[in-house]
Amino acid sequence: MGEAKEIWSAPITPRTASVVGTPVVASPPVSCPPSQLHSPSLTRSPLLHPEDGDAPRRKTSKTPKTPRTPRTPRTPLRISNLTPKFITPLGSPMRKALRFTKLDPQDAWLPITESRNGNKYYAAFHTLCSGIGIQALVLPVAFTILGWTWGIITMTLAFIWQLYTLWLLVNLHESVEQGVRYCRYLQLCGATFGEKLGKILALFPILYLSAGTCTTLIIIGGSTARTFYQVVCGETCTAKPMTTVEWYLVFTCVAVVLSQLPNLNSIAGVSLIGAVTAVGYCTAIWVTSVARGALPDVSYNPVRTGNSVEDAFSVLNALGIIAFAFRGHNLILEIQSTMPSSEKHPSHVPMWKGVKVSYTIIAACLFPMAIGGYWAYGQLIPANGGMLTALYQFHSRDVSRFVLGLTSFFVVVNGLCSFQIYGMPAFDDMESGYTTRMKKPCPWWLRAFIRVFFGFLCFFIGVAVPFLSQMAGLIGGVALPVTFAYPCFMWLKTKKPKKYSAMWWLNWFLGTLGVALSAILVAASLYVIIDTGVNVSFFNPQ
């Protein structure tokens, strides 16, 4: 490279030529560290000198100007030029991660997404608590219409189908391409089908599942609390028993107090208790029923009226009961949104681990409940209350009070815990209205008022329409697209699988079948309710 250039630590006066009249030679380009390549003062730096470093310095009264060093052509500015070479292989994933972590600031103010420190254990607790509940108690009622063979086949297919759509939702939760997390089922519907159509398709079923399930929990929880009191108190109890409405009120007050927990992550312990009690009472009921043996006059022949139309609608109503037993998909995206997510550690990995464990336990509870309950009671299974009513009706004398009381206690506790997780989407929706309008989080007193209002609104509905728990088939028909149909269409619209591929055909078939079944089941359930009648008693709970 020639002689080393002399670089001084302080600015000095540039030197003139050693001989007057000799033109000044421009400095050749100087190589510098890469970190200085984009320094704005580099081309005029007084620290760089020409090669005649040994020329004598001469002081002059006026410092002559030296000609500028010619500039080299600039390379067009590109992102690739600004990225250091040592992270170039990671550049694309890092940019995706930056897009992927974009979050709506409003999410930090709402109860579902307020805390994002969840994990696979929390996911398992929430999924198990929402997946097992009072709907499992009426599964043997569907078997009285479908019979052994079709009952088991239908239930198995429904379980596999809803597990598949659950996998779709877990993988649709986060979009790396758009850098968005769909933290609520309604958000994913709006992003897939459009805001207006998404609300039309999903708003009513989701709110119906949330508020309707909480109302049903108040009805069954309050009634079971009264039964628990009677079992514990015994036949010799002289205390004046409370009315059914008062038991509803007691259940609602406890549920409202628990609902003051701030967000979905904070109720992980509540969901764990709900999951343990759900497994406990399911196991206790079917084990006790099977241990006592089948009833003497039990019959397993499917109920038939002789009228083909009525029989067909009865079968469809039974399918609605099974669909109602596998509800809970409206909470999966909300549960997954409580987890942290990044490009390297996406949330769908721990979420699916939690789902697999929880649904293994759910299958171990629902299938023995349906099969064992139908074997023990057959056509004698009560349509209202299912297995719980049958346990008290047929075994109140030959089963210990401890087992009966513990089973009732588990049902009440599970109802209180399930109320929290099913009410959370309603709390979130009401609070989002305030935060959207006011651009700030809800104050504590307003959040408390919202939850008290929701709880007592469900209480009022439960008192006004106490026969709501008898409409399991109708509820299952309304909720069926949320569980079985919409996730298939969301996958087709969002992931765009290859046309006429196996995934394309499967989702189109299941989605279309789910929508058709929903319409047929709703019609069949309404027909059965009108034809056979429901114990209608407005404002008169029994």
Instruction: Determine, yes or no, domain membership for 417.
Output: yes
Tell me, what's the pLDDT at 85?
42
Long-range contacts of 68-76 (CB under 8 A, 24+ apart): 68/43, 68/44, 69/26, 69/27, 69/29, 69/43, 70/26, 71/43, 72/29
Q: How many domains does the chain have?
A: 1
Distance CA 316, CA 525 (A): 8
Tell me, what's the pLDDT at 67?
53
Instruction: Determine, yes or no, domain membership for 538.
Output: no
DSSP per residue, 186-203? HHHHHHHH-HHHHHHHHH
Distance CA 108, CA 113 (A): 6
For residue 399, the enclosing domain spans 103-530
Q: For residue 115, how many other CB atoms are within 10 A of its CB?
A: 15
Place of tokens 């009805």: 219
Instruction: Determine, yes or no, domain membership for 322.
Output: yes
Q: Which residues on neighbouring strands pair with residue 181, listed in sequence order?
A: 174
Instruction: Determine, yes or no, domain membership for 366.
Output: yes
* CATH assignment of the domain containing 279: 1.10.4160.10
DSSP per residue, 290-306? HHH---TT---SPP--S
Burial (CB count <10 Å: 0-12, 13-18, 19+), residue 294: middle
Structure tokens at 395: 């075994």
Instruction: Determine, yes or no, domain membership for 328.
Output: yes
Tell me, what's the pLDDT at 91?
41
Distance CA 84, CA 91 (A): 9
- In tens digits, what is the pLDDT along the chain, a chain of 542 residues? 444 444 444 444 444 444 444 444 444 444 444 333 333 333 333 333 444 444 444 444 455 555 555 554 443 434 334 444 444 344 444 444 334 444 566 778 889 888 888 889 999 999 999 888 777 888 998 999 998 999 999 999 999 998 999 999 999 998 777 778 888 888 899 888 888 888 888 887 887 778 888 888 898 899 899 989 888 887 777 777 788 889 999 999 999 999 999 889 999 999 999 999 999 999 999 999 999 888 888 888 887 777 777 788 788 878 878 877 777 677 889 999 999 888 788 899 999 999 999 999 999 999 999 999 999 998 888 877 788 889 888 888 888 889 999 999 999 999 999 999 999 988 998 998 889 888 888 899 999 999 999 999 999 888 887 766 556 566 667 778 888 889 999 999 988 899 889 999 999 999 999 898 888 878 877 776 666 555 555 555 66
Q: What is the DSSP letter of 27?
A: P
The pTM of this model reads 0.76
Instruction: Determine, yes or no, domain membership for 9.
Output: no
Calculate helix-pair angle for 308-325, 502-532, nearest 10 degrees: 120
Torsion angles phi and psi, residue 315, rounded to 5: -65, -45
Place of tokens 């009622």: 141
Q: Where are the alpha helices (DSSP H) in 295-400?
A: 308-325, 332-336, 348-377, 387-395
Instruction: Determine, yes or no, domain membership for 21.
Output: no
Instruction: Determine, yes or no, domain membership for 28.
Output: no
